[in-house]
Amino acid sequence: MTKENNAESNRKMNIVSLCLLLFIDSIGDGIIFPLMPELFFDPVNGLVTGHHTFTRDMLYGIAFAVFPLMGFFSDPGFGTFSDTYGRKKILLIGAGGLAVSYFISILSIILHSYHLFIFSRICSGICSGTYVIAAAAISDMSSGARNKLNNFRWPILVTLCGFIIGPGLSSLVGFLNFHYRLTTPFIIAFILAVSNVILLFFSFRETYTVKKRTSSLYYVLVKSLTSFSYAFREKRIRIHIMGYFLLYFGYGLFFQSISLYLAVTFGFSTSTVGFSFIVLGTALVLSILFIQPFIYKYFNYKRILFFSVLIMGFLLIIQSIGCIMNTFENMQFFWFTAILYFIIHPFASLGYRTLFSQMVSNDEQGLIMGALEQIVSAALFISALLIGHLMRAHDSLIFLLAGISFLISAFTIMFNQKKNQKSLKVRKYPGMN
């Protein structure tokens, strides 16, 4: 009984440690969004001066794009290395790297160096794989779809809470009045990141028993770099992987363009953009805490996954049509669309992650979580490069393309479910074929 109590105590402590890790990391990620318009379009305090508008649009997109691009290469590595060397060691490396990246961001603003800022984004992108390991560790401590649905809920929740506080810290910049005021959120993020490393070192207990290592470091590295192709090679998950990519391509278009859309269309300042993210993040938190537990009591998570993606697609297409017809080009309708979207999105994110975790073995949890983050990174990278150009052409194109992506993603879910139902019927009545 004592051993069972100790195991349960360690499990709870590990979940708390992982949640704190993701919470602090997401604060650092959320800080950047409200600051981006000022960093790239402010001729006085910004990093980019004396450039044509087209160049600013391009640089704005690159600053967003390098983060997921680096994650594309590093995320599967974090997952695979954690499967080989254990979760804790790799978590500490990632958390320490994030602290370094925030320090470089501070230097880039002080020196007004766009190149140094991009380098900081590259470093933070490389170290963003901590979420992969956290997800794998939670899989280690979970059994069954319902248990995973419950446990995966908490890291998503704390990540979203960090996205609320991060933009909130950025919004404080508007109330400060000194030369290097834009460094303030990054200084706070750096202090939190260092605290994160210390806390993780002392409180986290290893969740994965590393088997005897017969593979070389070179083999593990090659395996991690091929996880992207692994996701598409596996027939059991291939169609869902395509839908997952489209989900996050649409998400990337919408989410990464919010700060620019609000600044350009409605003239929002950094503080107002930060407050907007707080409101949207609050909608996410309320959805996870109160709406999700109620819905999951009565409906299967796969059915919820399909309808959540479908509704988000229709929402954004309606928003796009309204922008084209100048019918909904007002703040009230945008808020309605955005808040409803942010309430629904956690159902899709949680549903997909649980689905993939259920479809692979325990020894593949780190690999599949790394592959999923690699898919997300690729989707966010491509969408980030398009945002500036689509916004300059017409803001409706962002909503339209995102909405179409969601609808196709919903179609892949429906197609795969029907395919599985047909397969089950064949197994049950083999003589009918």
Tell me if 426 is assigned to some domain. Answer: no
Q: Which helix (H) or strand (E) holds 30?
A: helix 2-41
pLDDT-above-70 percentage for the chain: 85
Q: Concatenate the DSSP letters of all residues of 228-275 into one string.
A: HHHHHH-TTTHHHHHHHHHHHHHHHHHHHHHHHHHHHHH---HHHHHH
Buried-exposed string 19-39: b where 16+ CB fall within 10 A, e elsewhere? bbbbbbbbbbbbbbbbbbbbb
How large is the average pLDDT for residues 412-425?
A: 72
**For residues 1 and 293, which has the higher predicted lDDT (pLDDT)?**
293
How far apart are the C-alpha atoms of 147 and 354, rounded to whole Å? Answer: 10
> Which residue range forms the structural domain that includes residue 19?
2-206+223-418
pLDDT digits (tens, 9 = 90+) for 228-277: 777 777 787 888 999 999 999 999 999 888 888 888 888 888 778 878 88
What pLDDT does residue 268 have?
86
13 falls in which pLDDT band (50, 70, 90)? Answer: confident
**Cα–Cα nearest to 250, from 308, 302, 325:** 308
Q: Where are the alpha helices (DSSP H) in 86-143?
A: 87-110, 114-126, 130-140
CATH of the domain at 248: 1.20.1250.20
Tell me if 430 is assigned to some domain. Answer: no
What pLDDT does residue 54 have?
58
How far apart are the C-alpha atoms of 254 and 400, rounded to whole Å? Answer: 10
CA angle 323, 328, 329 (to 5 degrees): 65
How far apart are the C-alpha atoms of 91 and 392, rounded to whole Å? Answer: 40
CA angle 54, 271, 334 (to 5 degrees): 70
Q: Name the domain count of the chain.
A: 1
Tell me if 91 is assigned to some domain. Answer: yes
What pLDDT does residue 432 have?
39
Tell me if 217 is assigned to some domain. Answer: no
427 falls in which pLDDT band (50, 70, 90)? Answer: very low
CA atoms within 13 A on the CB side of 244: 26
Alpha carbon dihedral 101, 103, 104, 108, in 10-degree steps, equals: 140
Cβ neighbours, 10 Å, residue 229: 10
Tell me if 428 is assigned to some domain. Answer: no
Tell me if 432 is assigned to some domain. Answer: no
CA 228 to chain centre: 17
- Structure tokens that stand for 117 in this block: 């800022």
Buried-exposed string 190-203: b where 16+ CB fall within 10 A, e elsewhere? bebbbebbebbeee
pLDDT digits (tens, 9 = 90+) for 97-148: 989 999 999 999 888 888 899 999 999 888 877 877 887 788 778 776 677 7
Tell me if 129 is assigned to some domain. Answer: yes
The set of long-range contacts for 201-205, using a CB threshold of 8 Å and a minimum separation of 24, is 201/92, 203/13, 203/16, 203/17, 204/13, 204/14, 204/17, 204/18, 204/87, 204/88, 204/91, 205/10, 205/13, 205/14, 205/88
Tell me if 394 is assigned to some domain. Answer: yes
**Cα–Cα nearest to 37, from 281, 335, 261:** 261
| Residues 6 or more apart in contact with residue 430 via CB below 8 angstroms | none
pLDDT digits (tens, 9 = 90+) for 208-223: 766 655 455 566 566 6
Place of tokens 């942010």: 342
pLDDT digits (tens, 9 = 90+) for 310-344: 999 999 999 998 888 765 556 888 899 999 999 99
pLDDT at 179 over 70: no
